Chain A
Amino acid sequence: MTALLRVDEVGKRFRGLTAVDKVSFSIEPSTIFALIGPNGAGKTTLFNIIAGLITPDGGAITFAGERIDRLPPDAVCRRGIGRTFQLVRPFPNLSVEDNVIAGALLRRPDVVRARHRAHEVLWQLDLFDRRHQRASTLTLPDRKRLEVARALATDPKLLLLDEVMAGLRPAETDRMVVILTKLNRETGLTILLIEHVMRAVMALASRVLVLHHGAAIAEGPPSAVVREPAVIESYLGAEAVE
């Protein structure tokens, strides 16, 4: 099977700092892939490179057989990659429904049909009852789910999730895990997630890539990766070895 997303030797330097150091990996269709690592490891930079917000210094990114590095973010989205932001950025003065409609209009130029699609997505994300509320009045867990809903409404083949569990209580995390698992199983959606919450990573991901100082230090199934000494030392900490 050919990979849906292939990242080849992608690098990015900010002045003297190497944020991403020739990282390569690939994601198979309909799988969930996690990117983990300590703060400042370059996860979000790599993420923004894939989404087109940052241009890489070198390397290639291929999505569904097409080169997408150098494309602007809106073009990347139109190719079929949806994303959320680490610091959520809903449209604050629009209703929850209108937030999602803005995403749904990409594949459905007709507003009525886009609204139908938005309602479907809002059901999936448990936000339907809040659809008339202003986005700025939502709680953080709701705003996180709204980010996912809005990205999902663009009908992506690949969904990039940047720390959607951060700041959530364990019950909320479990709720998100259930929603994402369901999406992946039922629609075959491919997901790339950056996550610090290890119990979510263990529950969701079939493969994990560990970044440290911009470089990939380990890759594999989560159960194997968490046992690697380099990963324990740089990221998980000694208490994780039990």
Chain B
Amino acid sequence: MMARLIEGVPRRALVLLALLLAGLIVAPWLANDYLITTLILILYFAYTGQAWNVMMGFAGQLSLGHAIYVGLGGYASAALFVHFGIAPWLGLIAAVAVAVACGAIIGFLAFRFRVGGVYFAILTIAFAEFARIGFDHLSWVGASSGFFLPVANYSRSDLWNLRGSPTMFYYVILALTVGAFVLCHALLKSRMGHYWQAIREDEVAARSLGINTFRYKMYAVVISAGMTSVAGVFFAFYYNNLFPEQVFSIGRSIELILSPVIGGIGTLFGPIVGAFLLTGLSEAMQNLLSQLGIDVPGAKQVFYGLCLLAVVLAVPEGVWPWLKRGVGLKGEST
């Protein structure tokens, strides 16, 4: 299995990958708390970007409402924890189940009734909006005034209940990001990955090759939704609060897709490179601004906009494919 996973990956890529991973593993010993929280944010967006990429980058189905899966995952696990004391790792199962069910409904409605392209994207936004309005009125989880997890000072990290220091959360999100990367790599190399790419490129031609496009598009939505909901669990336990107006907002959905868009849609490194660039640079910029004593509300959004503009104009396929040629790796869609 392992041998097959790394088959065909250039040696230089493996070395770079190992160095990157080693750097990330030792980072908490070298970095201060601020840097750790920034790295957590970067890895969070790398993870969610990877999950979104399964649907759009691999199977060509544009979702602009992915915040719904983050929100459902977060609310499901947080509610189980607060109301019944169920640990997040068990709540995760419920979170994934809810998100998968939701993804299956959206996918079924769209693909059964042949809602494609832009109209599919609008449908995903609509569902995220339904969720936002619905949760705004769901008093069981605090409705519009928000849902809070108990916060206390923990003397030591409790991994089972996900209560503890930023360093613990850092390793959790790092493990998730690495897991998502390996999973996506395996998916892309599998029969399903080949079928997804065929569907992305030309659905009519894909069907003429005997591919049940409905079924494989459903797999893409459901896998992407399930993966994204895991980030929701992380989000809820890391931030300890959930507000429907925030978690389900279209702004969040857009934020989730920026990393792969900047880094390179459909590539494995795209979401990671994009997250480092975008979040890293925007944090650096905000730091610089605050040190200069300049307070500019909305500076982050403007910065994101400029980044998008620069990428679309200069490297429309994303930063990673361009970078990849620079470091002498070619071929392979990784």
Contacts and interface: CB of A to CB of B under 8 A. Distances in A.
Nearest to B202: A89
Interface residues of B, number: 20
A151 B209 contact: yes
Given A77-B209, A111-B191, A92 B331 contact: no
A183 B201 CA distance: 28
B194 interface: yes
A102 B198 CA distance: 7
B210 A74 contact: yes
B309 interface: no
A96 interface: no
The winner among B189, B195, B197, B209 for most chain A CB atoms within 10 A is B209
Given A105-B191, A111-B189, A78 B205 contact: no
Given A85-B205, A91-B197, A74 B189 contact: no
Interface string B204-231: 1111111111000000000000000000
A98 interface: yes
B139 interface: no
B220 to A, nearest CB: 15
A21 to B, nearest CB: 25
Contacts of A93: 201
Contact of A98 (B194, B210, B211): B194
A98 B191 CA distance: 11
Nearest to A83: B208
A102 B195 contact: yes
B287 interface: no
Interface string A89-121: 111111000100111011001110010000000
B210 A91 contact: no
The winner among B195, B211, B331 for most chain A CB atoms within 10 A is B211
A94 B197 contact: yes
- Interface residue SS majority, chain B: helix
Contacts of A92: 201-202
A109 to B, nearest CB: 5
Contacts of B210: 74, 77-78, 103, 106, 154
Interface string B145-173: 00000000000000000000000000000
A: interface residue count bin: 20 to 34
A102 B211 contact: yes
A101 B213 contact: no
Given A89-B204, A91-B201, A91-B202, A101 B194 contact: yes
B190 interface: yes
The winner among B189, B190, B210 for most chain A CB atoms within 10 A is B210
Contacts of B198: 91, 94, 102
The winner among A85, A92, A94 for most chain B CB atoms within 10 A is A94
A212 interface: no
A98 B194 CA distance: 7
B197 A98 contact: yes
Contacts of B190: 111
Interface in A50-92: 51, 53, 72-74, 77-78, 82-83, 85, 89-92
A150 B209 contact: yes
Contacts of A78: 210
Given A89-B202, A91-B201, A132-B331, A73 B194 contact: no
Contact of B207 (A73, A82, A150): A73
B258 to A, nearest CB: 22
Interface string B179-206: 0000000000111001101100110111
A73 B205 CA distance: 10
B195 A89 contact: no
Contacts of A153: 209
Contacts of A109: 191
A78 B207 CA distance: 10
9 A-B pairs with the lowest CB-CB distances in the bound complex, closest first: A91-B201, A77-B210, A102-B198, A89-B205, A106-B210, A73-B207, A74-B207, A78-B210, A103-B209
Interface of B: 189-191, 194-195, 197-198, 201-202, 204-213, 331
5 contacts: A74-B207, A78-B210, A90-B202, A102-B209, A102-B211
Interface of A: 51, 53, 72-74, 77-78, 82-83, 85, 89-94, 98, 101-103, 105-106, 109-111, 114, 132, 150-151, 153-154
